[in-house]
Amino acid sequence: MKTNSTIVLDAQDISKSYNGKKVLEGISLQIRSTDFYVLMGPNGSGKSTLLSILAGTNSFDSGNIKINGNDLCKYKLGARKHIGYVPQENFCSDFLTGRENLQYFANLLGLPKSQAEQEIEQLLEMMDLKEEAGRRVATYSGGMKKKLEIATALLGDARILFLDEPTTGLDPTVRKDFLSVLKEVNERGTAVLLVTHIGEDAEIASRVGFMIKGEIVAEGTPEELKEMSGLRSSIVVDAAPRSDELMMLLAGLSGDCIVIERESLFELICEEPKRMVPKIVEMLYEAGFDMRSVDTRPPSLEDVFYRLTEYPIRGEA
């Protein structure tokens, strides 16, 4: 990782309203070239709006944005050549091959032919798409399409990547692979700003921001945020039969626990999880539940988000 980092994004006091309703309120954000910044927030928190404003695709009411020292409003071309934006939808044409899509964006940027060819080959190599580069994008998997889109965003002189919920719809293995590619991009000197509502995506970040109702309410490294939340570990309970009675029992535990119902189990966020585990086991045994497992796990950033903001990350803001 480079040690001499420079500020590639400097946003000051950004505000925006839609139909008289404030969606962003005085947001300031600085990102350095070495940063892997993840902005977490539930649907409707304004994170995608903020990203589109920072990437120059959306207008804003007040504030100032500089990309690599160029004012986004005054020096549009100078600022935009340093932006690599990957919106949520798959924007590469299905009728073109992976290489042809890259050539299209390289030509739009006006890259000289030899430079374009060299960059395209390097990016295909980096994204592990070299063998598939001659195939039409229609035949690509979701993960391959996303990698191709990152490659298009890295063409030319992009200093910062803006990614809007890039892992949505990807299965866990592909998501992990995709995030490791992003990490590699970051380690080569391109800053990354990723918005997501998936906590696991934020675990590899160097900085994380929590966004609620158009404001960044907490910010720090994942470790700092976990420390700030006071959470140690959560308790995962897998018991049968799953019923309202079980939920009520867990919710009624003393010890200031928050109970979250997951797909196949219950998760409890407590101040002192290790002390609570024997209590839970005893209580469920006495109530006659079939205990499959009661375990502790380290706090995730989703838990931390919930604790610090009191908003479930996968709900509405």
Partner 1 sequence: MSGVSQVRASFLRSMRIFLRDKAIIGSSVMIPIFFLLVLPMVLFQEVPIEYLPATKGFLVIAMVTLLIMSTAMSNLPGSIAADRDHDLYSKLSSMPVSPVYECLGRIVTVFVFSLLGSMVIIALGLVLGAELIVTFTEFPLVLGVTSVVILFTAGLGLIIASVVKSESAAAHIGVAIVLINYFIGIAFPYRDLPDLLRPIVHVNPVCIGNNMVAALTVGEEFLGYNPFNLMDASVMLLLAAVIFITGLYIYSRNCWRR
Interface with partner 1 by CB under 8 A: which residues? Answer: 52, 55-59, 76-77, 80-81, 83, 85-91, 93, 95-96, 100, 103-105, 107-110, 152, 162
Buried b (16+ CB within 10 A) or exposed e, 110-140: ebeeeebeebbeebbebbebeebbeeebeeb
* Smallest gap from residue 52 Cβ to partner 1 (A): 7
| C-alpha to C-alpha distance for 267 and 112, rounded to whole angstroms | 55
The least CB distance from residue 10 to partner 1, in Å, is 17
Residue 234, both tokens: 């959560």
Considering beta carbons, is residue 85 or 289 the nearer one to partner 1? Answer: 85
Nearer to partner 1, 43 or 93 (CB): 93
Smallest gap, in angstroms, from Cβ of residue 200 to partner 1? 24
6/58 with CB nearer partner 1:
58
Shortest CB 84 distance to partner 1, Å:
8
- By beta-carbon proximity to partner 1, the closer residue of 77 and 114 is 77
The answer to whether the beta carbons of residues 291 and 280 sit under 8 Å apart is no
Residue number with CB closer to partner 1 (96 or 283)? 96
Which of residues 160 and 257 has its CB atom nearest to partner 1 in the complex?
160
Two structure tokens written together for 23: 């969606």
**Shorter beta-carbon distance to partner 1: residue 195 or 277:** 195
Rounded to a whole number of angstroms, the minimum distance from the CB of residue 178 to partner 1 is 18
Q: How far is the CB of 293 from partner 1 (least distance, A)?
A: 43
